A and B are shown apart, each in its own frame.
Chain A
């Protein structure tokens, strides 16, 4: 559970950052200061579920498979795994097929530029167990490659193309990895934080 503590520390730290900023400004902004006394979030009721999940995954794929795990307390307390890229393909098919998971429904798939690395975020849903899970996979920024999951969830097809289009992450094994929203001859990947817009003329 060290990861969990880390996460809490991180959020606490970020809160401090957030509160410092209004203080720096001369104008009176009392409201953020009131929030300062907000207690650290209570442990989620879903913590045991998370521990169970992590244990099952480590049993099957080994210690390195999960880099980090926490409960995202926003909304419906979403179990979140940060999965090692090399183990992702195996874990994905397990998540879909294993009887007590059966995450057959790929709700969403998004790419995020975290500046030092990329992240591909999968939101999976199990129609059998009415259960949702979030999987983050970190991708190296210099060599953005991640195994495609189209053969596991065909719905990922266009999502992956979109991520490739906007962030430039290569999905190895994708049947047709082409730009989908931007024109084919477009240069650069618009959703990267270091993207320089080309259209100076407008």
Chain B
């Protein structure tokens, strides 16, 4: 009888597939994972602590650095919380610009996910294709607000910059182009036998488990639960648009992929509708006091970020700075389920399952 022993393997913090500085301590027996413990905090910058010493406008750039793949939703959740407390009216045009940028950012984020996920699984080319398309979105953002990743675009009461001349036409062109590209992606990936083999039936969890672990976003919808905050608690002007919430049936990785790809198509629809009814004229920044003093009280708002429910819990004591600002980061919550999913899995499934959760380490560590 051969004697086998378990091996302790530190995956990360420097590893090509942990998408940042995540460390997973894995106990493996051959290639089978017996136990996995995620260790986080390598990118902790204390955003919540810093925010207590900054006024509300100053916090916005800090939120960019949390989920740096979809910084618009971070921007939005903070200003949304402040606006809820102040009960502000937002100009129409600003709301439209917000929805367009949020949805474009969602597309960009899902493209990054798709590309890196296939890279994890071993396919090189989709990564490059996805990044080329994402680049076009980043160019659009660059033209709009002068930054490609850390936008600092939303303001309490509206947005900082109006759309430059011809920008909306460019967005429209992008939408038409992207609709065609989605077909290419489906041809290249969706039917690929090896991809299906790698993802079908892998990393499955039930709906009850997803709810217990408070998963959100595609991670929750993949189990068949139709929970999208854009539909369920419409914020901004999402109630004006027609779109579907794609759900999965099996709760496996392949369904996650399909879910996210369909979400991209839904986002394209939303942007198309927003462009069609875009108000001709108007302010993009409402009338707000120069010094924002949020009345005493608290509020919790949540929006559907590409990764799930992004919440912001704001406690104010009537000052121009928050008393306590807590972000409910979807990656942080979703990552909790990882040890449960990895137990007994093959080593090669580690990267597939971890990639499927779609984490951004800036957000996990905050």
Give A contacts to B, CB under 8 Å: 10-11, 14-15, 17-18, 31-32, 72, 74-76, 78, 104-108, 110-113, 121, 123, 127, 130, 134, 153-155, 157-159, 162, 166, 179-183, 190-191
Contacts and interface: CB of A to CB of B under 8 A. Distances in A.
Given A74-B85, A112-B315, A181-B365, A11 B44 contact: no
A130 B212 CA distance: 16
A190 B311 contact: no
Given A17-B318, A166-B48, A155 B213 contact: yes
Contacts of B289: 31-32
Given A11-B296, A110-B324, A155 B333 contact: yes
A interface, by DSSP: helix, strand, loop or mixed?
mixed
Contacts of B299: 72, 74-75, 78
B178 interface: no
B333 A75 contact: no
Interface of B: 40-41, 44, 46, 48-49, 84-85, 87, 211-214, 225, 227, 232-233, 289, 293, 295-302, 309, 311, 313, 315, 317-318, 323-324, 326, 328, 332-333, 335-336, 365-366
Contacts of A179: 41
Contact of A106 (B214, B298, B315, B317): B214
Given A112-B324, A134-B300, A181-B41, A107 B311 contact: yes
A74 B80 CA distance: 11
A157 B336 contact: yes
Given A75-B299, A107-B214, A110-B324, 18 more contacts: A14-B317, A18-B318, A32-B289, A74-B297, A104-B211, A107-B309, A108-B311, A108-B328, A110-B313, A121-B313, A134-B300, A154-B336, A158-B336, A159-B333, A181-B44, A181-B366, A182-B44, A190-B49
Contact of B311 (A11, A76, A104, A123): A123
Contacts of A110: 313, 324, 326
Contact of B211 (A31, A105, A191): A105
Contacts of A158: 332-333, 335-336
A43 to B, nearest CB: 16
Contacts of B333: 155, 158-159
B212 A153 contact: yes
20 contacts: A14-B295, A14-B296, A14-B317, A17-B318, A18-B296, A74-B84, A75-B84, A107-B302, A107-B328, A108-B300, A110-B313, A123-B300, A123-B311, A123-B313, A127-B211, A154-B336, A155-B213, A155-B333, A155-B336, A181-B44
